């Protein structure tokens, strides 16, 4: 069964738009996580950024207490956040590139150039009982480097697929890249997740990509929730995922 991890960062983004710098505010990302789980989500994802632009330290600690499924902490491979993760002990961390000027994560990790540093962090996380995923573009060299790091998962960056979805030719090219990447990673013994830019329109075609374990989706679900409510938005996405065969 293909699993759904719901990213709740944008719930915190909305809260910080009015309550930044305060010890309270709405909407509450922890309550959002509870609602997603009640609706059937298999996991909750939150990105603790260095600049704390949305998810805050207090959020991740509250999430660790509240989440009953699987807590995925997205994070940059920087000392401060690594130490927080080792204390927090999420079920899994997803190491991502991070730039202060970006609105959302714009690309995959350069695993090839950062293999040593990523391997060190992977070992520290695994020693603490935390699984590790690397957020990467679907290219053979990056996937091969991920295998050298020893990561348990990769998360394939689906941003280019989502961006070109309306162009049939480019969409097929991006799907072929994702299919090849998933097959390569699976052959190397790496579990495969995917995410970025996935929505209710482009998700069904992703069923063609084999070996997927989990999709991490945030913005589209939170956007639909404005009109339908969060529980129904999660259920609608889960229905689109039914029937997936790895």
**How many angstroms separate the CA atoms of 157 and 114, rounded?**
18
Q: Which of 10, 42, 157, 196 is catalytic?
A: 196
**How many angstroms separate the CA atoms of 182 and 163, rounded?**
19
| Helix count and strand count (H, E) for the chain | 10, 8
Residue 26 annotated in active site? no
Q: Which of 74, 131, 174, 214 is catalytic?
A: 74
Residue 74 annotated in active site? yes
Residue 80 annotated in active site? no
**Angle formed at CA 134 by CA 133 and CA 138, multiple of 5 degrees:** 125
**How many angstroms separate the CA atoms of 15 and 33, rounded?**
14
**CB neighbours of 174 closer than 8 A, spacing ≥ 6?**
160, 161, 164
Q: Which of 10, 47, 54, 157 is catalytic?
A: 47
Q: Which residues are catalytic?
A: 47, 74, 196
């Amino acid at each position: 069964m293909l699993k759904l991890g719901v990213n709740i960062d944008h719930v915190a983004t909305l809260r910080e738009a009015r309550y930044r710098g305060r010890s309270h505010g709405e909407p509450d990302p922890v309550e959002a996580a509870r609602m997603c789980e009640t609706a059937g989500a298999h996991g909750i994802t939150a990105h603790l950024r260095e600049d704390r632009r949305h998810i805050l330290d207090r959020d991740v600690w509250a999430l660790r207490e509240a989440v009953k499924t699987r807590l995925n902490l997205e994070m940059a491979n920087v000392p401060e956040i690594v130490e927080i993760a080792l204390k927090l002990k999420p079920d899994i961390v997803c190491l991502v590139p991070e730039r202060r000027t970006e609105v959302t994560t714009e690309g995959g990790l350069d695993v090839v150039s950062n293999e040593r540093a990523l391997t060190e962090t992977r070992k520290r996380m695994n020693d603490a009982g935390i699984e590790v995923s690397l957020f990467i573009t679907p290219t053979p060299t990056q996937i091969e480097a991920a295998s050298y790091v020893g990561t348990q998962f990769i998360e394939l960056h689906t941003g280019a697929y989502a961006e070109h979805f309306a162009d049939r030719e480019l969409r097929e090219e991006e799907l072929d890249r994702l299919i090849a990447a998933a097959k390569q990673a699976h052959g190397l013994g790496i579990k495969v997740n995917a995410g970025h830019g996935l929505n209710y329109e482009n998700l069904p075609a992703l069923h063609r990509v084999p070996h997927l374990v989990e999709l991490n989706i945030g913005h589209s679900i939170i956007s639909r929730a404005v009109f339908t409510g969060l529980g129904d938005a999660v259920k609608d996405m889960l229905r689109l995922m039914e029937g997936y065969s790895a």
